[in-house]
Amino acid sequence: MMDVFAYLVAAWIFLAGCYGLATSRDLIHAVGCLSVCQSATYVLLLAVGYRDGATAPVFSDLEPGARPVVDPVVQALALTDVVVGATVTALLLALVVQVSKRHGTVDPDELSELRG
């Protein structure tokens, strides 16, 4: 059961963010919900990279095959995901500020110029 628990937590966080995004009446809230959706990927990467009883991937003191080690690629992907998430959030918040300055509102329903 504990093997599946992290995946269920990641799915729950993602669905909570999607629900907030679907019911959002504010662009700032929508950006926050997108950040919550992306934080589900952090939990997912941690679940994929976890190995029971494994150590850090430092090979200077280990003989090959002596004990299991954690895959360092998953750790690099998680770090890259954090950096990309912060960058995307900053860009989206800058766009919300510009929309607010130009249109005077952050409510998506009141932005009639954006309708096709």
**Per-residue pLDDT tens digits for 12-53:** 999 999 999 999 889 999 999 999 999 999 999 988 888 888
Q: Tokens for 54, please give them.
A: 């494994």
The pLDDT of residue 85 is 94
Q: Return the higher-pLDDT residue of 90 and 74.
A: 90
Rg (CA), the chain: 20
pLDDT digits (tens, 9 = 90+) for 61-75: 667 767 787 888 888
Q: Within 1-116, where are the H helices?
A: 2-22, 27-49, 72-103
The pLDDT of residue 68 is 81
Nearest partner of 96 among 28, 17, 20, judged by Cα: 28
Residue 33: other Cβ atoms inside 10 A: 20
Where do the domains of the chain lie, and which CATH numbers do they carry? 1-56+67-114 (1.10.287.3510)
Residue with tokens 């954690």: 70
Q: pTM of the predicted model, to two decimals?
A: 0.81
